[in-house]
Amino acid sequence: MKRINLYLFLFGCLLSLSTMAAKVDTLNIQSQKMNRTLKAAVVLPESYQKVNKPFPVLYLLHGGSGGFRDWLTKVADKTLLHRMADQYNLIIVTPDGDPTSYYFDSPMVKESQFETFITKDLVEKIDKSYRTVKDKKGRVIAGLSMGGHGAMYLSTRHPELFAAAGSMSGVMNINTAAWKVPAEFAKSRADNFVKLLGERKEGEHPHPGYTMVTLVDRLKANGLPFILDIGVEDFLIDTNRDLHARLLANGVPHDYIERPGAHTWEYWENALPFQLMFFNKILKANGVAVQYY
């Protein structure tokens, strides 16, 4: 009986590996502005080797204290990105964003220029290295927590590059007084923003122009489709509800989802497929979704 169970276990492992058809590359990307090399993982769907067409790309950003392999290693289902790439026939790129960069070009720290890194160095490298849709119609961007802020911030500042954006548990207000966190953590992040962006301004928004709740007019002018997804137990729920209310008041179209859950990988693993459904509809409307059966 033990031997039979072992055979069944080994068969299940082989079956799991055979169905995880997507391939993962790791790239080194040179940042001229930061004078250093960073990494990105690239998930290629099985269809990439079988269909001679340009493929759309999802740029998927990690959160604070994270790294470029988080989306591949920290989810319970280690096949998640492989399955999403295969299901929607798109390339998924997970770049390094440093632990606390928030994807800004820092005016204070020359080694933290992640707006330029993502929107210039990374996009150019991916378009040169792979058969991609080399146009905004085929690029979407999303992320969790710090990466949710990054996806929204970068797409808002560069609407010429992306067709849509998504945030999962995103930092929609970098004023840490609006976060439901211990005072010590709030102070550490507030100090980080001062280091990156300079001294705080007085009032509700200490770093205006660098936080999504101050960019509603720009979101409206850009007209870029986007989706906000947040758990009701998340410590960032108030910042997301605040942005949602501002968007409604200003007539800015957007998708907004609240579901049970907290600031956890369990939540983000469940949220990502919803984001992919949203993006797939847009990629289809743009005529760049790859059909493969």
Q: What is the pLDDT of residue 68?
A: 98
Classify residue 209 as left (phi > 0), alpha (psi -120 to 50) or beta.
left
Q: Which residues contact 12 (CB under 8 A, 6 or more apart)?
A: none
Q: What is the pLDDT of residue 203?
A: 83
Pairing, β 57-61 against β 139-144: parallel
Q: Which residues contact 3 (CB under 8 A, 6 or more apart)?
A: none
Ordered structural domains, the chain, with CATH: 20-285 (3.40.50.1820)
Task: List per-block mean pLDDT (blocks of 10 residues) for the chain, which spans 293 residues.
Answer: 47 45 95 97 97 98 98 98 98 98 98 98 98 98 98 98 98 97 97 97 92 98 98 98 98 98 98 98 98 81
Q: What is the pLDDT of residue 190?
A: 97
Query: Among positive and negative, which fits the CA dihedral 108, 111, 112, 116?
Result: positive
Q: What is the pLDDT of residue 270?
A: 98
Q: Which two tokens stand for residue 147?
A: 């990466």
Residue spans of alpha helices (H) in the chain: 2-19, 70-73, 80-88, 114-116, 123-129, 146-157, 183-197, 216-222, 237-249, 265-285
Q: What is the pLDDT of residue 204?
A: 87
Q: Which two tokens stand for residue 25?
A: 């590359």
